[in-house]
Amino acid sequence: MKRFKLVVAYDGTNYCGWQIQPNGITIEEVLNKTLSDFLKEEIHIIGASRTDSGVHSFGNVAVFDSETTIPAEKLCFALNPQLPEDIRIVSSAQVADDFHPRYCDTRKTYEYHIQNGKIPLPTERLYSHLVIFPLDVEAMQEAGQYLVGTHDFKSFCASKTQAQTTVRTVTGIEVETHSLSEGEYPSQKVIIRVTGEGFLYNMVRIISGTLIKVGLGVYPPEHVKEILAACDRSKAGETVPAKGLFLKKIEYL
Amino acid sequence: MKRFKLVVAYDGTNYCGWQIQPNGITIEEVLNKTLSDFLKEEIHIIGASRTDSGVHSFGNVAVFDSETTIPAEKLCFALNPQLPEDIRIVSSAQVADDFHPRYCDTRKTYEYHIQNGKIPLPTERLYSHLVIFPLDVEAMQEAGQYLVGTHDFKSFCASKTQAQTTVRTVTGIEVETHSLSEGEYPSQKVIIRVTGEGFLYNMVRIISGTLIKVGLGVYPPEHVKEILAACDRSKAGETVPAKGLFLKKIEYL
């Protein structure tokens, strides 16, 4: 028996998230079925990040045990033709038998994608959140810096969390822009990139919702310090929609 | 009766192109029906560019005549809620009664989007063409410069064209890249941006297919001069898929 690690990319639009659940199709379910059919063994993957319904990924990680003799690095190329087009194995490798994708030190990078413009561009509708009023990106960038470091992120955690501690370390927040369209009502894409060693439930979406409020001028950038200090979910911005969120990569340290 | 100009963005994935045709739903058909229902007049739009099935747009132009008293600049905001999510009116304005979107001097900008990487990323599948071998972007950029100017583009025109002359003016070609994903098999997006005063049928897709061959090392960049001189469609690269093509904007000169 060998343990394999898969890096998994998906378009979350048509899935009820990662984790198997009774009311809809999930990434985990599709991977278990595809792997079991292909390898002719019953496979149960373990995922690194149980992304929510609608969240996209370029680099989630899944681990499974198998007797297969297919070379580990070739597995991705063998599996991809068996998978629906909206899920792809980006790479595959053999790992130590006791490697667990969640009980390791990791650095995760998420991106939150915003279309900032008056008119929702059709080709952006599935992969970004529309903000129609102009965003002050410099103010968002400044506000983000107050969140970098090891802090109690209770204000940035969905109240239904089961986490034992709400202290987490954010190692970097960057806000960048690209032009999307010109004309009477131009649009730009604003990307909030958050890197950290573990995140609380909905944390990146609440950080993004809070930085958007800063960008809109509702809060001055330094007000984010007070939100952090309050340890009160109701003080932060809204949990912005899942469709703008991308899990970009998980680095094992 | 007043004449209105609409700038129209769409996700071409689910349409059989712009122009009304018997075998499938088109952008023109949806706009005619939506405008007619909303304005309670029979509306027949005239489009600037009859984009092919699957091609996307950020800035096609349509013109129509109407008795409506809705202020021209507000029309886009009134129409958008009536349209399917994959079509949006980006702006609206009143124009001269004799303005015709095709019989004017224009500068059009198209982009061709390529995902360059070994594994097709799910969130790119509808909006880019996958090229799995590494592209030499500098060579593509150099090759593109041989096409800038006024030339006979017969080699870059679908053989079924009805055009009276195949001489066209390309004012600029740029090739740029953005990182999409890292890891074992990293991916980048390669964007070929072509600007010109009118294009032949499939011209941007054939230029892109030819620059891809240069990027793959099949041709040296300067071979593009010979392709141009040959005036023979069979000498150029393939017509790459529609889903990678975006009509970005049409400027009226």
- B52 contacts: CB under 8 Å, gap ≥ 6: B17, B202, B242, B245
Q: Kindly state the tokens that stand for B238.
A: 């393939």
Residues B105 and B198: their CA atoms lie apart, in Å, by 8
Residue-level pLDDT at B159? 81
Q: Compute the mean pLDDT over every residue in chain A, rounded to the nearest whole number.
A: 96
Disruptive mutation site among B6, B13, B18, B58 for chain A (greatest number of A CBs within 10 Å): B58
CA atoms within 13 A on the CB side of A62: 29
The Cα of B232 is separated from the nearest Cα of chain A by a number of Å equal to 35
Q: Which residue among A88, A122, A183 places its CB closest to the CB of B59?
A: A183
Question: Per residue of chain B (253 residues), what is the pLDDT tens digit?
Answer: 999 999 999 999 999 999 999 989 999 999 999 999 999 999 999 999 999 999 999 999 999 999 999 999 999 999 999 999 999 999 999 999 999 999 989 999 999 999 999 999 999 999 999 999 999 999 999 999 999 999 999 999 998 777 789 999 999 999 999 999 998 999 999 999 999 998 999 999 999 999 999 999 999 999 999 999 999 999 999 999 999 999 999 999 8
Residues B172 and B101: their CA atoms lie apart, in Å, by 22
Whether the CB of B10 is below 8 Å from some CB of chain A: the reply is yes
Q: Is A110 annotated as a binding residue?
A: yes
Residue-level pLDDT at A164? 87
Residue positions of A annotated with a catalytic role: 52
Give the helix, strand, coil percentages of chain B, each rounded to 5: 25, 35, 40
With beta carbons under 8 A apart, name residues in chain A contacting B59.
181-183
- Which residues, in sequence order, are bridge partners of residue B177? B190
ipTM: 0.91
Residue positions of B annotated with a catalytic role: 52
Whether the CB of A179 is below 8 Å from some CB of chain B: the reply is no
Whether the CB of A246 is below 8 Å from some CB of chain B: the reply is yes
The residue type at A143: A
List, in order of start, the domains of chain B with CATH numbers.
1-92 (3.30.70.580), 105-250 (3.30.70.660)
Which residues 86-115 of B are in CB contact (within 8 Å) with A?
86-91, 93
User: Which residue of chain B comes nearest to A58, CA vs CA?
Assistant: B181
Residue-level pLDDT at B11? 98
Determine whether the interchain pair B246/A123 forms a contact, defined as Cβ–Cβ distance below 8 Å.
Answer: yes
In tens, the pLDDT along A154-181 reads 999 998 777 789 999 999 999 999 999 9
Disruptive mutation site among A10, A58, A132 for chain B (greatest number of B CBs within 10 Å): A58
Determine whether the interchain pair B87/A121 forms a contact, defined as Cβ–Cβ distance below 8 Å.
Answer: no
Q: Kindly state the tokens that stand for B194.
A: 């072509």
β-bridge pairing A129-131 and A106-116: parallel
Q: Which residue among B91, B123, B246 places its CB closest to the CB of A183?
A: B91
Q: Kindly state the tokens that stand for A71.
A: 């070379």
Residue-level pLDDT at A104? 87
Q: Kindly state the tokens that stand for A15.
A: 């899935």
State the greatest distance between any 2 C-alpha atoms of chain B, in Å, as a whole number: 61
The Cα of B28 is separated from the nearest Cα of chain A by a number of Å equal to 16
DSSP-derived secondary structure for B194-251: EEES---TTHHHHHHHHHHHHHTTSS-TTHHHHHHHHT-GGGS-----GGGEEEEEEE
Determine whether the interchain pair B7/A184 forms a contact, defined as Cβ–Cβ distance below 8 Å.
Answer: yes
With beta carbons under 8 A apart, name residues in chain B contacting A60.
none
In tens, the pLDDT along A195-219 reads 999 899 999 999 999 999 999 999 9
A250 with A48: CB under 8 angstroms?
yes
